[in-house]
Structure 1
């Protein structure tokens, strides 16, 4: 098969995989103003997508999250002033998008802790410099098999399977793009920690920990959620939360009975 024909077939498959499907999520989407108010530059936005490939990724990773985008803010020099995210899209490759791209979808903010302003700018510069790069279409072949109800792949192999992409540095999927940005400043996501015997005459029985950076192709959206170095930010709680203000369909007021009882005593 010629490269032109393979590219055309891959593009057709990509468009089919990105078609939306009905999504029934147990969590409601966050209102755009609340989400924008809670975001900071270099935050990772995880998304529960509603496309065919989202189903495959959620199954593959056993996670709610099928997509990730990096919030770069409105001062990153993007061509469109309304855009504030950079993501790797299956059809269009690495691109910038606005907040409306995730309207109606369940999202989660993962915030890297301890970043200086210079660190955040370096992470943002890394993804912005890759705008226009192509999506790693070879990963489509790896992921499409997981649309089957019972793919013949042992569970222990599934994480490795997602890293079988082309290896071309000008190609990426959403999570590898962002993982590469954080690894460019040596920021940990889920490093591999190897315990070794400490090489010290003063403490021959001591154990030392050696940290190794996992290859960026092995990261998935859920890893930012699972990482102990990213804080989970819920926009609905950022502005204060008072369950007493909820209006229930049956007319009940939560906590009212308890407050009246305390006042009586």
Structure 2
């Protein structure tokens, strides 16, 4: 009897969690990218293992941007052509991401064609470790989000909660601690931690001040505490701007003449 009740209760929580996830993924009104998207240049610039930060336009995005005090509310990792082409003829998936309510999924790059994005690239990451990071993320595909944990969803219904700054990061990590039940950057952080590549490690100094023998001891921060903006702030990830990488010549820009601009006013 208890088993049947337990299963019924589990189905009930899953159903409610599914509905909450749908509401959280509803788009916010009034979103507009602040810069025009250059999708083709973005495609030419990305390398496997690059972290793509996205300024989302969903209800959950507003909460994450507030809690992290950042433009970036979502992160995905570019895996190149390691995933097979779809038999349906649709665009090949080249991103792996973790979505609330879905878990770890693959997505085409065009999904974020019109969004504000930023490329963060791990500096001097070896080809072997880059492949391991990609394999780690691809190996997590299909990892599901347990919709029974509705409290992991409910906290995002308060877009601007009166939370002290020092607690905001902890609020994002609140819940089961499973990376599929946290925000997207948790699993990506685990991927880089698997090859011991630093993001924002806790650094402790060992030895007396002024001693040449002092050592910086790096401690791995728990993956659930990472947010999308950490890849932007990390001193070990470089921000790659596609327009500059592909060759930018300001002399070739066509400007509106001062006369024409004054007439428009």
TM-score interval (norm. to shorter): 0.7 to 0.9
Q: Which runs of 5+ in 2 are unaligned?
A: 1-7, 260-265
**Residues 126-145 of structure 1 mapped to structure 2, 5 A cutoff:** 126-135=136-145, 138-145=151-158
**2:23 equivalent in structure 1:** 16
Q: Secondary structure at the match of 2:121?
A: strand
Kindly state the Cα deviation for residue 27 of structure 1 after the two structures are TM-superposed.
Answer: 2.5
What CA distance in whole angstroms lies between the structure 2 residues aligned with 1:217 and 1:193? Answer: 18
What is the TM-score normalised by the length of structure 2? 0.84
Task: Show structure 1 runs of 4+ deviating over 4 A.
Answer: 169-172, 203-206
Is the contact between residue 35 and residue 116 of structure 2 (CA under 8 Å) also seen in structure 1?
Answer: yes
**2:166 equivalent in structure 1:** 156
Deviates more, 1:187-196 or 1:90-99: 90-99
**2:235 equivalent in structure 1:** 228
Per-residue deviation, residues 108-131 of structure 1 (Å, max 9, x unmatched): 000001111111110011111111
**1:260 equivalent in structure 2:** none
Q: Secondary structure at the match of 1:241?
A: coil
**2:36 equivalent in structure 1:** 28
Q: Secondary structure at the match of 1:122?
A: helix
What CA distance in whole angstroms lies between the structure 2 residues aligned with 1:71 and 1:7? Answer: 30
Is the contact between residue 32 and residue 99 of structure 1 (CA under 8 Å) also seen in structure 2?
Answer: no
Kindly state the Cα deviation for residue 197 of structure 1 after the two structures are TM-superposed.
Answer: 2.3
Q: 1:180 aligns with which of 190, 205, 209?
A: 190
Is the contact between residue 142 and residue 164 of structure 1 (CA under 8 Å) also seen in structure 2?
Answer: no
Per-residue deviation, residues 55-105 of structure 1 (Å, max 9, x unmatched): 01100100000000000001x134637111100112322110111110210
**1:114 equivalent in structure 2:** 124
Q: 1:65 aligns with which of 44, 62, 72?
A: 72
**2:83 equivalent in structure 1:** 77
Q: 1:104 aligns with which of 97, 114, 117?
A: 114
Is the contact between residue 134 and residue 172 of structure 1 (CA under 8 Å) also seen in structure 2?
Answer: no
What CA distance in whole angstroms lies between the structure 2 residues aligned with 1:6 and 1:157? Answer: 27
Q: Which runs of 5+ in 1 are unaligned?
A: 253-265
What CA distance in whole angstroms lies between the structure 2 residues aligned with 1:14 and 1:232? Answer: 31
**1:92 equivalent in structure 2:** 102
Q: 1:12 to 1:232 in 2, by over 3 A?
A: same
Q: 1:208 aligns with which of 215, 222, 228?
A: 215
Q: Secondary structure at the match of 2:157?
A: helix
What CA distance in whole angstroms lies between the structure 2 residues aligned with 1:91 and 1:79? Answer: 25
**1:240 equivalent in structure 2:** 247
What CA distance in whole angstroms lies between the structure 1 residues aligned with 2:211 and 2:116? Answer: 51
Per-residue deviation, residues 5-49 of structure 1 (Å, max 9, x unmatched): 1111111111111112231333232x2211010000100000001
Give me the CA root mean square deviation: 2.3
